[in-house]
Amino acid sequence: MSVVIAVDAMGGDTVPESVVAGVLAAVTDSDLHVLLVGDEALLRPLVCGADGVTIRHAESVIPPESDPIDAVRGDVDSSLVVAAQAVRNGDADALVSAGHSGATLAAATLIIGRLPGVARPGLAAVLPGRNGPTVLIDAGANVDSPAAHLHSFAHLGSAFAQHVLSINNPTCGLLTIGEEPGKGDVRTKEAHALLAADATLVYRGSVEGCDVLASLVDVIVCDGFAGNVALKATEGAAREAFVRVQREATGLRASLGGLLLRPALRRVRGSLDPDTYGGAHLLGANAVTVIAHGSASSHGIAQACRYAAEGVRADLVAAIAARVG
Amino acid sequence: MSVVIAVDAMGGDTVPESVVAGVLAAVTDSDLHVLLVGDEALLRPLVCGADGVTIRHAESVIPPESDPIDAVRGDVDSSLVVAAQAVRNGDADALVSAGHSGATLAAATLIIGRLPGVARPGLAAVLPGRNGPTVLIDAGANVDSPAAHLHSFAHLGSAFAQHVLSINNPTCGLLTIGEEPGKGDVRTKEAHALLAADATLVYRGSVEGCDVLASLVDVIVCDGFAGNVALKATEGAAREAFVRVQREATGLRASLGGLLLRPALRRVRGSLDPDTYGGAHLLGANAVTVIAHGSASSHGIAQACRYAAEGVRADLVAAIAARVG
């Protein structure tokens, strides 16, 4: 099945060069096509007539500091809005953007639309758990989410774990700050009651920050603020551990040890790399939407396109619709 | 100057044995005395008449699952309440407990009392930052704190950094989920406005989860929910990195490398160990209060006693009173 991905060519830190380079790498997969949206005059010489890439012109770009909803409503000629409209019109199956993540959430909600039963789409980061991938939702797209939205995230994340990560009957847990169900803030206690009362979830109770990589559950449910803090603290600490090992590995003995251990250290570093997928699925919209990292390299963009295509092929949107409808 | 620490002998996971062992280690410091509060019949044979330890009997123990405020108000014969009263009466200079942390917060607030100008005491964890210690406040004692409490935590943490960690003009930052001041949840945006408008703080703006160990600021200000998540995610990821290195270091080459690198790995692991201090200061009470880890070893308890004594000698409470009064 051939899949068409609409890519916002103008969103991200190093555009359009690294986005185009990533797209050109992604379309070497024979069944992946890209509708590349942005300034045609800039894009045409970079794409250079490559097979599998169609350029669609967009006049403007949404600036990083703009209000997401105002920008999406007001800037109808922006690359993000034109790309989202292409998905809505059926010209593409999925949206990928490395631009303003709040605006991408707004475009998914306002243009592509939400599935019935979804109050707010949730951003599903996939973490390198000890025994396999772990979904963390919401990873930062939403803040100030009420408990009912957290409940909805549990279903979105479970559908994703099952259909994209192929985990049967995925378990879920609630991110909080103590093992006992009575611990946590007001919202978390309310969310606990909702999750515990829902027999269609495989709910395992509380998960703490220290358990994020421990594979205790398949899906970690949280508000986007706590989720983003947990995600970034985990990434930062793992990176810091390796920086310090490098700094300490001086002198003949340790240098030699570091040299011999290097392949193992690289494997572990790779296993803890949050960039494996190049982005995160925004779940609950009417079409597959992947938010790539703003700083994504061309490799990251290519991975994000493939990751979006995987969601399309797995019929992720239909699976979510069946679950939450 | 001789310091007397009131220690709750009955709070913690392995009581009273490891608490007593820790206390006996701490009182080998010639100027540290301990008022050990708990079941006298259990404690006397363990203490065995050691110099520097006075036992004060308490009839009961606050169970881990009890409501903090009800427990402190209702169970006046509990080891925690008797220890807090000893501090209030001037029989001891500081309180150390490894028991129910919510109850210790309640005992500090209701019995020892808050300093004028302090709405809620804040728990100050000290993290092993890349270039030295970093204070994270609140680390989990309070949840659902309004922005005004976060503002107060910035002052409590700054006073602590200056007087106990000897950092001159400590800088502070606000834990949030984006670099721009407009990012974050409603509370964080309000707190940002309060911190930015306060010329008596050295406020540096936003800090993200990935920066927790990066020594960007001396004091990281946050709500206890996000703070506890950041703290535990950081601890968990650093630990996980070493677990995975050990798991990957198989085969002749890697095993030899691991052997040679072992001292360096141990140093890094030690540098990332959150247990250096054995506990965390609860700042804003009328006397020095240290919450030790519930799972504290005897070494952890000894460190917590020394850490409390350090706060007394640094005249921490007077310094905080001068700052917030």
What pLDDT digit, counting tens, does each position of A72-120 carry? 999 999 999 999 999 999 999 999 999 888 899 999 999 999 999 999 9
The reply to whether A324 falls in a domain is no
The predicted pLDDT at position A181 comes to: 66
ipTM of the complex: 0.92
Distances (CA, A) of B167 to B131, B158, B160, B162: 12, 9, 9, 5
The reply to whether A323 falls in a domain is no
Asked whether the beta carbons of residue A267 and residue B259 sit closer than 8 angstroms, the reply is no
The predicted pLDDT at position A3 comes to: 97
Confidence of residue B285 (pLDDT cuts 50, 70, 90): very high
The reply to whether B325 falls in a domain is no
Q: Which residues of B touch A233 (CB under 8 A)?
A: 209-210, 212, 229-230, 233-234, 237
The predicted pLDDT at position A5 comes to: 98
CATH number of the domain that B143 lies in?
3.40.718.10
Tally of structural domains, chain A: 2
User: Do B129 and B112 share a structural domain?
Assistant: no
Confidence of residue A265 (pLDDT cuts 50, 70, 90): confident
The predicted pLDDT at position A36 comes to: 98
Measured in angstroms, the CA of B303 and the nearest CA of chain A are apart by 23
The reply to whether B70 falls in a domain is yes
The reply to whether B221 falls in a domain is yes
The predicted pLDDT at position A254 comes to: 85
A44 interfaces chain B, CB cutoff of 8 Å: no
Q: Which residues of A touch B261 (CB under 8 A)?
A: 245, 249, 254, 257-258, 260-261
Asked whether the beta carbons of residue A253 and residue B234 sit closer than 8 angstroms, the reply is no
Q: Round to whole Å and give the CA distance between B173 and B198.
A: 13
Q: Which of residues 177-196 of B touch A (CB under 8 A)?
A: 177, 180, 182, 184-186, 188
- Is-contact A141 A68, C-beta < 8 A? no
Q: What is the pTM of this model?
A: 0.93
- Dihedral through CA A78, CA A84, CA A85, CA A88, nearest 10? -170
Which candidate from B176, B248, B264 shows the least CB-CB separation from A254? B264
User: Do B213 and B312 share a structural domain?
Assistant: no
User: Do A304 and A168 share a structural domain?
Assistant: no
Which of A102, A104, A162 minimizes the C-alpha distance to A133?
A: A162
Measured in angstroms, the CA of B1 and the nearest CA of chain A are apart by 38
The first and second tokens of residue A138, run together, are 């919401």
The predicted pLDDT at position A261 comes to: 85
Give φ, ψ of A264 to 5 degrees: -65, -45
Which candidate from B188, B259, B261 shows the least CB-CB separation from A258? B261
**pLDDT, tens digit (0-9, with 9 covering 90-100), for B100-136:** 888 999 999 999 999 999 999 999 999 999 999 999 9
Which candidate from A65, A175, A186 shows the least CB-CB separation from B180? A65
Which candidate from B176, B223, B254 shows the least CB-CB separation from A263? B254
Confidence of residue A275 (pLDDT cuts 50, 70, 90): low
- Dihedral through CA A132, CA A324, CA A142, CA A122, nearest 10? 30
The predicted pLDDT at position A250 comes to: 84
User: Do B127 and B113 share a structural domain?
Assistant: no
User: Do B302 and B250 share a structural domain?
Assistant: no
Provide mean pLDDT across the span B265-275: 78
The reply to whether B323 falls in a domain is no
User: Do A189 and A50 share a structural domain?
Assistant: no
User: Do A256 and A239 share a structural domain?
Assistant: yes
User: Do B265 and B132 share a structural domain?
Assistant: yes
Q: Which domain holds residue B22?
A: 1-118+284-316
Distances (CA, A) of A291 to A95, A107, A108, A301: 8, 11, 10, 10
User: Do B263 and B196 share a structural domain?
Assistant: yes
Which of A187, A228, A267, A275 should one mutate to test binding to chain B, selecting the residue with the greatest count of B CBs within 10 A?
A: A228
For residue A206, pLDDT beyond 80: yes
Which of A74, A65, A87, A71 minimizes the C-alpha distance to A8?
A: A87
User: Do B110 and B72 share a structural domain?
Assistant: yes
The reply to whether B321 falls in a domain is no
The reply to whether B324 falls in a domain is no
User: Do B210 and B150 share a structural domain?
Assistant: yes
Please give the mean pLDDT across all residues of chain A.
93
Q: Which of residues 101-140 of B touch A (CB under 8 A)?
A: 130, 140
User: Do B107 and B199 share a structural domain?
Assistant: no
- Beta strand B202-207 pairing with B171-175: parallel
Q: Round to whole Å and give the CA distance between A176 and A181.
A: 9
